[in-house]
Amino acid sequence: MTQFGLPVAYVVLVWWLATGCILYLDGLPKRTFPLSLAASTLVTAAALVGLARSAADVTAVGAFVAFTCALGVWSWMELSFLTGYVTGPRRVGCAIDCHGARHVWHAIEAVLYHELAILGGAVAVAVVTWRSPNQIGLMTFALLWLMRTSAKLNLFLGVRNLGESFLPDHLAYLRTFLRRRRMNPLFPVSVTIASAGVAVLGYHAVAAGSSGYQATGSTLLAVLLALAVLEHGFMMLPISSEALWSWGFRSRAAPARPTV
């Protein structure tokens, strides 16, 4: 039981803590953003070193290290976007009458640099783990990328719960690219494919003959993907997930200190 319980608890805890910490840092005054991003850059550099050093480690510990380091690289992607440093060439929203191909292009422009940064991060992770037996780090980053892309597309096509509070005021213009709908054609496809992925990874985790590395790595990835499915579910449920990270939003409510 510990073989599976520990990875499950670890992923849930890291997912909850990392999301809350990023929200908290993003809610601080803008003058703190350069320091936060600089610290995140150092974390990313250390994470890439950790990925390179764990790339040959096919043990349960190696799977944990690679998974954690991939999350460290991904955290830079999230923080750089939410602080507004890496978004896209378009920094204004769309007019109400903007639609069709023009609206799609404007949405791409709004996040283009961010998508290119994620691509660069994926290349970096792939390079430091190239032809190595431990590929948990690369698979973790790939899953995060795929599910975040799915979330963006679903928000663009329309969902019931937009989660606008996750967007800070300096990114308010992005709300013009979100659409509120009861359902969209992509959502059931996204959830079905992701849920199938959870089942496949879960099978590999418990399959007879799986090594400690395989069981741990598959469990870590399965839980991460399951949480992504849960986040997708929140987009269509008539409830909000903000309460899970109420502590992360406190920095936005904190009164600004007077400057001398």
pLDDT at 180: 93
Domain-located, residue 258: no
pLDDT at 243: 87
* Separation between Cα atoms, residue 150 and residue 190, nearest integer Å: 7
Burial class (CB in 10 A: 0-12, 13-18, 19+), 238: exposed
Domain-located, residue 89: yes
Token pair 């663009």 is at which residue? 156
- Token readout for 103 is 């609206």
Task: Quote the domain boundaries for residue 102.
Answer: 2-253
* Separation between Cα atoms, residue 127 and residue 138, nearest integer Å: 10
* Separation between Cα atoms, residue 95 and residue 12, nearest integer Å: 39
**pTM score, two decimals?**
0.94
Domain-located, residue 16: yes
pLDDT at 242: 87
Domain count along the chain: 1
Domain-located, residue 155: yes
Rounded mean pLDDT for each run of 10 residues along the chain, 260 residues in total: 84 96 95 97 98 97 98 97 96 91 96 98 98 97 98 96 90 94 96 97 89 95 97 90 90 56
Domain-located, residue 198: yes
Domain-located, residue 30: yes
Nearest to 235 by CA among 176, 172, 195, 183: 183
Domain-located, residue 259: no
Domain-located, residue 170: yes
Q: Collapse the DSSP code of 211 into the 3-class scheme (helix H, G, I; strand E, B; otherwise coil) and give the result.
A: coil
pLDDT at 260: 36
pLDDT at 163: 87
pLDDT at 69: 98
pLDDT at 118: 98
